[in-house]
Amino acid sequence: MADIREDERVHISRELHDDLGQLLATLRVELTLLKQQPPGSPDAAARLESMDALLLNAISSLRRIAGNLRPRALDEGGLHFALESLRLEFEKRHGISCLLDALPDTLALDERYSTAIYRLVQESLTNIARHAGAATAQVRLRREGGELHIDIDDDGRGIAVGDMGKADALGLLGMRERVAALRGAMEVDGGKGGTRIAITIPLPGDS
C-alpha cells in the first residue's frame, strides 16, 4: 500500500509541476508582457484575453487534480454513480462503447473500498484506451460468497505473451499492488480476442 501511495504522490507532483506549474509560469510571462503595453491598447486587450484563458485552464487543472485525489462522484452518489460517470466519460473521450453491469446495492461499500475499486476500474479503462485498440469494453461487478468479483473485458488486440512481464508499462503493476493491499487476487488473460482482467476482493464483514 505504501508503494501505491508513493506512486500517487509522484504522479500528483508531476501533474502539479508539468500542468498547473506550466500554466502559472506562462501566466506570469503574459503579465510581464501586459505591463509593457499602453493601457487600453489592442495588444493589452489581447494579453488580458490570453490571461483569462490561462486562468480558466488553471482552474480546470486544479479541479481535475483534486478530483484524482478523491473522485467527487463518489461523494455525490456512491460507487455505482461514480462508475457510471466514469463509463460515460470514457465513451465520450475515446469513442469506445462501454457497458457497466452492476447493481447499486452490490457496490454499497465503505470509503476505502469504494475508492480502491473506482481506481482499479479507472486504471483498466485507461489501459484499454492507451493500448488495446478496442471498439468495445465491458465492466461487470458482482458479490458472491463474501467477495466482490470484477471482470473487465475488451475486444482489442490483446496482450502479447512477451508483454505480460512488462506490467509496469501496461499499467498493471499498480493494479496488482492495489488488489494485493485489499488481500485480493488478479488474473490477466490477453488472448487474440481481446484482454480480460478478473479481480476478486474479499469484503469486510461479508465473509
Q: Show me where the domains of the chain are located.
A: 2-69, 78-202
Q: Side chain identity at 170, as an amino acid letter?
A: L
Which distant-in-sequence residues (6+ apart) come within 8 Å of 51 by Cβ?
27, 30, 31, 34
Distance CA 20, CA 139 (A): 32
pLDDT tens per residue, range 116-126: 899 899 989 98
pTM: 0.66
pLDDT tens per residue, range 38-54: 888 888 888 898 988 88
Between 22 and 63, whose confidence is greater? Answer: 22
Sign of CA dihedral 74, 69, 64, 91: negative
pLDDT tens per residue, range 158-198: 776 666 555 455 567 878 888 998 999 999 887 777 899 99
pLDDT at 138: 96
Between CA 125 and CA 143, with CA 149 as vertex, the angle to 5 degrees is 130
**Superfamily of domain 78-202 in the CATH hierarchy:** Histidine kinase-like ATPase, C-terminal domain (3.30.565.10)
138, three cell numbers: 465491458
- Of 64, 134, 140, give the one whose Cα is nearest residue 99: 140
pLDDT at 5: 53
